[in-house]
Structures are given as C-alpha cells and as structure tokens.
Structure 1
Amino acid sequence: MSLSDRLTGVIPPLCTPLTPDGEVDTASLIRLVDHLTGAGVDGLFVLGSTSEAAFLTDRMRRTVTETVTAHVGGAVPVLAGAIDMTTPRVLDHARTALKAGADGIVATAPFYTRTHPAEIDRHFRLLAQETGAPVLAYDLPVAVHTKLSPDTVLALAADGVLAGIKDSSGDHDGLRQVIMARVPRFSVLTGSELLVDAALMMGADGVVPGFGNVDPAGYVRIVRYCAAGDWAAARAEQERLCSAFSIVHEGSPTRMGRGSAAIGAFKQALRLLGVIDHATTAEPQIPLSEAETDRVATHLTAAGLLR
C-alpha cells in the first residue's frame, strides 16, 4: 500500500518514547516501529495526539519523523501530523515532515483563532496546494473545538484536496454520511479503538488506534476478520481489546488529566512489554504511580499480552 492507493487497514499513531530527561528515545522508537510492522500493520502515523505532538519541540518532531521514515525505508506509508494553530504554522510543519521523508500529512482545522467554515475549507486547500502532498483531515473536535462537517469534507474530497480523513469526532452519523457519499480513492479511517468492527461494517477503510501501539496484532486480526465477513470473530476480538483498553482509566482523575492517564498507560504498557525503555511522558503531564502501573499490568495479563 502506498499513498497512490486508498489507505486501508491498521495505521497506528505512534507513541513517542522519551528518555528520563525528556529527549526522544530513538532506540526505543525504532523498537516500537518493529513491534508494529512485525504485527502486520499497514502504515504508521507519527506526530498525532498519541505521539504527544503538542508537547514536542520542532526539533523533536523532526527527529521522530526522520527516525521512523529512515528505519521503515518505504516498507509502509508514513503519515506525519502537521498540527498547529494556523495555516502558516501548519505549512512549516508539513514542509519539514515531507523533507524528513513523510508520505503524507495529517492536519486538523485551525484552532485558537475563531474560524468560519470557509476559512477551514481554505486552510485545507492551501495545505494541498502549497505542499503538493496527500493531505488527510483530522477531525478532533475535543481538542480543536471545531467539528468538520460532512459537507465540507466531501466537497474537499470531491475536488481532490483531501486524500482521506481520520475521524476521531465520535459523530457516528457524520461518519456514515461521509462513507456513503465519498469519492473513489478517499480513505475513511476511524480513530476509535473501541468501535473498529462497527466502523468497518459501515464501510470505513481502516483504523488509527492509539491502543494499537500496545496490541497491534489485535487490530490487524479485526480487520482481517471483517474482510472475511467473520463478524462474530471480529466482535469477540473487539470486545477483548475493549477490556484491555481499560488501562487508560487507571490513572486517578483526582491528580491527572485524561491525556496523562491514557498516554501514561500506553507507555507503561509498552515498557512492561519490553518495547520501550522508559514510560516518561512530556511535561507537564503527570506519570502513573506504581500502584496504577501494577493495575495496567493486570489488564495486560488478562488480555494475554503479558505473562
């Protein structure tokens, strides 16, 4: 699969392993890439929400993209998030990522500034025009406070501006509208780890699962079961993953945000599995405690991932 084709299958948004002093741990990052590609994923997405892209400096973002693309060597497509507040800043990130070897760009609508739908439309058109690269829209209203309307997405797709969408909006009616009316070669990818079987049954092309860092093989199995029409097996695998995904709730909400709890749990899981060396999260996120990490291990054992 390349970006000349429609993106399909499992495209995990990579965690960014960090050293205890907060630098990119490139050796652990390479092991994470091998963990994912060895499980048979169809692509990789760096510098998304799960990557802690919002916390990384420009230098760190470049290091992540260069490390992953060099190691993959074109074996699978690499998408890079170009996520920032305004179009000029996003264009800077996009050009850097493409120079570092990324095959396509993933971008949200502008945020912080108040925007009109016409300005969102212009934002994506300028990204495609100025970079000449495939652009995927990232629908993430919980972070950017703007929901991409199906009409906007479909118009941009029809004009060849967008190569696809990562839908993390939670709007299943809107997702179905986009699936039903999409144009050829436009990829619809769900960002929900918990509803992959349902999204694929609706006609989505694949999934971008944060928990796919921890259990990529599970998501690969779901996609294969759905492709074969074995919906019972897909449902059983989805339910196993839903149970294991409960690790994101082990960080106490009395002392940390939901982001710290989720990213911290993913990183502790990867450390427990021997994939990365440290579970360090970027400042000012709060790390999981020893007791919370023990409960993460219990979930992994119950899911058959840790012995």
Structure 2
Amino acid sequence: MGDLMRPGVWGVLATPFRGETLEVDTAGIERLVKHAEGAGVTGFTVLGVFGEAAQLSREERRLVLETVLASTDLPFVVGCTSLGTAPTVEEATTAVELVGDRLAGAMVQVNSADPAVLGAHLDAVHEATGADLVVQDYPVVSGVRISAAVLGDLVASRSYVSAVKAEAPPTPAAVAELTARCDVPVFGGLGGINLLDELACGAAGAMTGFSYPEALVACVDAWDPADPGRSRAALLEYLPLITFEQQVGIALAVRKECLRQRGLIDESGVRAPARSLPDSLRPLLSGHIARAQAL
C-alpha cells in the first residue's frame, strides 16, 4: 500500500445529502468524484471530517465507500472517526475489506499527547488490520495537542505509517518539523489556506477539500522551490474564497453551498451539529463564486 501514497492533492470528499431526511446522495458523490478526478487529484480521502463521517451510520459509511470505489480507479485514504482503539480498528477493518489494494492508508487521528499511548494505539490498529496508516494531527477536532517534534519521532519509528496530515496551526512550522524528523510525505490540510507556505516548508502537497480542487492541483503541480511565484500565481486569485470557506463553525456549510452553486451537488444540507450557512453571508459567497468562475 505504501507505493500508493504519492505527492500531490488528495481530495477530501464531501458527503452530499438530499431531502428533509438528509439521505446520502450517491449521484452527487459520483459527480464530485468525477470532477475532482478530472481536475487531476492524486487520490481521494473518503469519510474524513468534511465528509461528515461522524454523522454517518455504519451502513452509510459503507455506501459512501462503495459509491466512490465504483466511480474511480484512483487510490483512497479512508478516515477513521474515533479516538478509541477498538472502534478505530473496526472502521479500519471495513476500509481494508472494501477498498483492498487501492487503500493508501487508513487515516487515524492523534488520540493522545503521550507518545507511548499514541504509539500503542497506532500499533494496535495496524496489527489488527494490516493497513498502512495516515496519522492526522487535527487538534480542532480531536482536542489533542502534540508537539510536531514528538509526533515526527514517533512516525519515524513506525514503518507502517504512510503519511502525516498536519493540521495543527501554525501548520508551516509543523510541516518543517515533521519533514525534518521522518521520511514519509507530510500533507497540509485546512482547505489549502496555508498551502503555499506548507510547500515552502517541505509539504508533499495537500490532503484537503476545497470547492475548486483544480486550483489546489495547479498550485501543487507548479511548485518549484527555485520559482515559488508560479505556485503563488496559480492560487492567488482563489485565496479569498479559500479564506471564506474556512470560517470556523460554518466551513462545511460554506463549502457545500459552493459545490451546489457549481452544479456539483443538488443540495447543500449538513447534518447536526454542523451549522447552516447564515443568510447574511449568501450574497458574499455568491460574489466570491462569480469571481472564481471568471478565472
């Protein structure tokens, strides 16, 4: 599985819903996959935080995975929502069973700042499933803060870790520390808001969602440390929308409405406890999208 974890943009898929009951919209998933693949993503991150995986039933998670599997031949990273070892093993086992040799890694969140506890957790998941792991450091979601130095050393001692997703601000500094201490690819996240600086600090690309994945792909593909201006030019005009999408508390609702206005999904509903998009921001969002569409 390690050979599947290549540099580039790993697109985090949203899970579209339909109707008042917010049922999983498989046709919308297929459109999102086809669009991102056409934009040039390296692979997909499925059932991540922005896929609202924690709000999906076990059956719905399987449905999402099966839909994406049937829609693309690209490799997958599959998110595990829990911080506990037993439920993480259960989720990773499902990923292995369904995705098979297209699984680039099961994405496991940092669940403790104590390296002994975290190391035991990662070891247990790998030993139970045989899966390579992507370690996600996302304290806003997990509530756990670990130093990049400690995490880097822990990753360096575990050959089954295929990548790190660094989402603990300041992310450029975390990327620099992690890449200095371990040999696996380190990817930025957070919607690409710090992507240019993360690339400058050694990131292998981005593992994140943005309503214009083509912009992230263009930025990463253009990256050259000797000529960073090319990547900057590819992303610069999209940065206002990236910033707008990343507003704390409503980021998911903003991105889904962006995707709806782009015609990639039919409805932009989110499941509780996610907040809906405030009506006061809709005209601003439409303006951002109009400018992005004109690029």
TM-score norm. by structure 2 comes to: 0.90
Corresponding residue for residue 168 of structure 1: 167
Q: Within 1, Cα distance between the matches of 2:284 and 2:174? A: 36
> Shift in Å at residue 78 of structure 1?
0.9
> Shift in Å at residue 96 of structure 1?
1.1
- Matched position secondary structure for 1:278: coil
Note the 1:2-151 alignment, pairs <5 A. Answer: 3-20=2-19, 21-72=21-72, 75-101=73-99, 103=103, 104-110=105-111, 116-149=114-147, 150-151=149-150
Q: Within 1, Cα distance between the matches of 2:185 and 2:81? A: 19
Give per-residue Cα distances to partners, 1:201-248, cap 9 Å, x unaligned: 22211101221xx11111111112114854112113332222112433
Q: Quick check: 3-12 or 17-26, which moved more?
A: 3-12
More strand by share: 2
Corresponding residue for residue 222 of structure 1: 219
Q: Check whether the contact 2:115–2:154 (CA below 8 A) recurs between aligned residues.
A: no
1:282 aligns with 2:283: no
- Matched position secondary structure for 2:238: helix
Q: Within 2, Cα distance between the matches of 1:173 and 1:48? A: 23
1:159 aligns with 2:148: no
The answer for unaligned runs of 5 or more in structure 2 is none
Q: Check whether the contact 1:3–1:77 (CA below 8 A) recurs between aligned residues.
A: no
Give per-residue Cα distances to partners, 1:133-167, cap 9 Å, x unaligned: 11010001112122233333333333303111000
Q: Within 2, Cα distance between the matches of 1:157 and 1:85? A: 21
RMSD across aligned positions (CA)? 2.1
- Matched position secondary structure for 2:50: coil
Give per-residue Cα distances to partners, 1:246-300, cap 9 Å, x unaligned: 43377xxxxxxx33x1111111111111000110101233322444333211101
- What fraction of aligned residue pairs are identical, expressed as a percent? 27
CA shift in 2, pair 1:88/1:154, >3 Å: same
Q: Within 1, Cα distance between the matches of 2:281 and 2:119? A: 43
The answer for unaligned runs of 5 or more in structure 1 is 251-257
Q: Within 2, Cα distance between the matches of 1:263 and 1:99? A: 29
> Shift in Å at residue 54 of structure 1?
1.8
